[in-house]
Amino acid sequence: MISFSPSEEQALIVDTLKRFAKDRLRSIFREADENGELPADILSKGWELGLVGSSIPEQYGGFGEFSAVTGALALEELAWGDLASALALSAPASFAFAILAAGTEAQREALLPQFSEESFVNATSALIEPRLQFNPRKLQTTATSDGNGYVLNGVKSYVPLANSAEHFLIYAAENGQTQAFIVPAKTVGLSVGEREKLMGVRALEVARITLDNVKVAADAKLGGEAGIDFGRLYARSQVALAALAIGVARGAYEYALDYARNRQTFGEAIGQRQSIAFMLAEMLVEIDGARLMVWEAAWKLDNNQEVTRDALMAKHNADKTVLMVCDRALQILGGHGYIREFPVELWLRNARGFSTFDGLAMV
């Protein structure tokens, strides 16, 4: 039956993450952006909240049930706190959830239990390629069968935590179809390049990786010989990224709203003027609408319904919304919005990334 109220369990998770986002992430995000790195303990603190383990069923060592709706709720809160931290915490999840959803029984049994242990698992995935018209369904990185296994060749970009990662999930085209391969970091031919410098999420370490005749065994292919339904996994990454975008947008909206209430010009609060007030009203409407699209797509994922177009719409709409909202938030702060002492310019830089971000997170 139609309902928009989270379950008690979901409410509890949201509550916990809200606190973490407010107390922890909001106290480090600016400095982390300036320094280009996250404080050492932020990932372990986040990990302690059981973000990944709580979505892995008991039989694989976890302590929960997977739900895309819950995932979307959680990611919104994290991104509200800090997008760079949220993406760093999402990197292992994008690896683990793909294994859980599409892996063979053996792959799940071998790889999933570590995600429920206490220390952060350095796992990540690599989808994006460094070119203008990147298309995840037409990858230039290739996987060729060599009789015993596969040989991977190509270049991946924007790979989070590439330098410290122990496990990679690498997406490559096999006979024109996007498949995924589990590749340990020390595999010969896999090299991690210089760190990439981005406009936003500067605290998130991302790098290019090069695959030069990387040989992996046949059982490294996610889902075994049959492979994966990439469309389904991709939809999950679209929904996750859209949820993160909502979190960023909400943060900027709330900040601008508060500012508009208090900032005085010509003897009145700027929020008393329609040109400012209407912008804020529209920001609220767009954020709420975009969030509901994320929820509905996530709900369809959880209920095994067709979701390709819903996920596409949710992602595209969230990308547009977060940019619009952050741009307006900056406008509402005027010159102050442009100054790095205020958070809004950072959020606008982060927001611009969403139209490029692909496969960096998963619900």
Partner 1 sequence: MAIDFKLSESIDTQRQMAQMVAEQMMRPVSRHFDEHEHDIPWDYINAMWPIMRQNPMFGAVDKPETATDPNKPKKPKTGNVRMVHLIEALSWGDAGMYLTTPGGALGGAAVAAAGTSDQKNRFLARFGDSETPVWGSMAMTEPQAGSDTSAIRTTAVRDGDSWILNGEKIYCTGGRLSLEESQGLVVVWATVDPKLGRAGMKAFVVEAGTPGMQVTKLEHKMGIRASDTAAVVFTDCRIPFDNVLGNPEIPKAEATAASADAPKGFKGAMKTFDATRPAVAASALGIARAALELLREQLSIAGIPIRDDVPVNEMSAIERDVLELEAQHKAAWLLTLKAAWMMDSGEANTVEASACKVKAGEAATVITQKAVELLGPLGYTRELLAEKWMRDAKINDIFEGTGQINRLIIARRILGFSSRELK
Instruction: Please report, in angstroms and rounded to a whole number, the separation of the first and last CA atoms in the chain.
Output: 23
One DSSP character per residue, 108-147 reads HHHHSGGGGSSSPP-EEEE---SSTT--TTS-SSEEEE-S
CB of 355 to partner 1, least distance (A): 8
In a 10 Å sphere around its CB, with 0-12 CB exposed, 13-18 middle and 19+ buried, how is residue 278 labelled? exposed
Asked if 26 touches partner 1 (CB under 8 A), the answer is no
Write out the binding residues for partner 1, residues 120-139 only, by CB under 8 A: 133-137
Strand pairing class (167-174; 123-126): parallel
Asked if 289 touches partner 1 (CB under 8 A), the answer is yes
Asked if 18 touches partner 1 (CB under 8 A), the answer is no
Close Cβ partners of 40 (under 8 Å, ≥ 6 residues apart):
none
CB of 319 to partner 1, least distance (A): 8
Selected binder of partner 1 within 3, 40, 176, 304 (CB under 8 A) = 3
Asked if 313 touches partner 1 (CB under 8 A), the answer is yes
CB of 165 to partner 1, least distance (A): 26
* Per-residue tokens: 152: 């991977």
* CA separation for the pair 198, 297 (Å, rounded): 29
CB of 15 to partner 1, least distance (A): 16
Asked if 44 touches partner 1 (CB under 8 A), the answer is no
Half-sphere exposure of 295 (CA within 13 A, CB side): 14
CB of 155 to partner 1, least distance (A): 18
Write out the binding residues for partner 1, residues 215-234 only, by CB under 8 A: 231
CB of 2 to partner 1, least distance (A): 5
CA triple 129-243-342, angle to 5 deg: 90
Asked if 101 touches partner 1 (CB under 8 A), the answer is no
Asked if 64 touches partner 1 (CB under 8 A), the answer is no
CA 85, 90, 95, 100 torsion-angle sign: positive
Write out the binding residues for partner 1, residues 236-275 only, by CB under 8 A: 257, 260-261, 269, 271-272, 274
Considering only the stretches 51-59, 93-101, 161-169, 302-310, report the one whose residues sit in contact with partner 1 under the rule CB under 8 A. 302-310
* CA separation for the pair 9, 25 (Å, rounded): 23
Selected binder of partner 1 within 180, 290, 330, 333 (CB under 8 A) = 290
In a 10 Å sphere around its CB, with 0-12 CB exposed, 13-18 middle and 19+ buried, how is residue 189 labelled? middle
Asked if 12 touches partner 1 (CB under 8 A), the answer is no
* CA separation for the pair 159, 128 (Å, rounded): 8
Asked if 316 touches partner 1 (CB under 8 A), the answer is yes
Asked if 14 touches partner 1 (CB under 8 A), the answer is no
Question: Other C-beta atoms within 10 Å of 265: how many?
Answer: 11
User: Hey, what's the torsion of the CAs at 108, 297, 85, 22, to 10 degrees?
Assistant: -120
Asked if 331 touches partner 1 (CB under 8 A), the answer is no
- How many residues of this chain interact with partner 1, rule: CB under 8 A? 48
CA 257, 259, 261, 265 torsion-angle sign: negative
Which parts of this chain interact with partner 1 (CB under 8 A)? 1-7, 10, 69, 133-137, 231, 257, 260-261, 269, 271-272, 274, 277-278, 280-282, 284-286, 288-290, 292-293, 295-296, 299-300, 303, 308-310, 312-313, 316-317, 355
